[in-house]
A and B are shown apart, each in its own frame.
Chain A
Amino acid sequence: DIQMTQSPSSLSVFVGDRVTITCRASQGISDYLAWFQQKPGKAPKSLIYDASRLQSGVPSKFSGSGFGTEFTLTIISLQPEDVGTYYCQQYDSYPLTFGGGTKVEIK
């Protein structure tokens, strides 16, 4: 199975800050990488697929990059509504696997 490792596991930032979350795959997955946002008490929401493509309706403040084993999710100018946990996921091969999540909070 492909292991997905996210870092950091949590971060606390000021409103307006730029946030960067890293996701590493235990083996190469091309660009078969997705990012999801889960707000407290809610179902996850799909943000990015194919490492860098935004899902329909997702604001351009979110961006993704990477290929192979190293990937990044960036949120520019974090706002209170962006608080939640972010997960990466590989869909290169089954079983599909998620990273452990990164909890983003406001200072």
Chain B
Amino acid sequence: QVQLVESGGGVVQTGRSLRLSCAASGFSFSNFAMHWVRQAPGKGLEWVAVIAYDGSTQYYADSVKGRFYISRDNSKNTLYLQMNSLRPDDMAVYYCVKSQQRPVAGKSFDFWGQGTLVPVSS
């Protein structure tokens, strides 16, 4: 069955960097676009970034553009999110989410990871 396991979360100070990982299994990772979605404590869902199945295309939310970078290693079935210049409002649970198909456009999500918490201290 599909499994998405995030790791790398933990307390980080404002202005510092952190890299999240998402280990995927149970499906052909290299054939699907992948997303990161976050949820601040007690708040709603916010889409963060997407990467094409082959890593050729990425899109970002304005709130993270220029600070966060999404990447993938299809040989390791792993998705990454490099987060730089972290701010207090980046504090959230970060979810790794699988797209339904290859294209980055016009396709919904199907599976979510359990999430990893990133507390940002000032």
Contacts and interface: CB of A to CB of B under 8 A. Distances in A.
Contacts of A56: 110
B61 A95 contact: yes
Interface string B38-51: 00000011110010
Interface of B is mostly: strand
B119 interface: no
Given A91-B107, A95-B59, A46 B112 contact: yes
Contacts, number: 61
**Band of interface residues on B:** 20 to 34
Interface of A is mostly: loop
**Band of interface residues on A:** 20 to 34
Given A94-B59, A95-B61, A44 B110 contact: no
A74 B61 CA distance: 30
A46 B44 contact: no
B66 to A, nearest CB: 14
Interface in B85-99: 95
Interface in B61-109: 61-62, 95, 100, 105-109
Interface of B: 35, 37, 44-47, 50, 59-62, 95, 100, 105-115
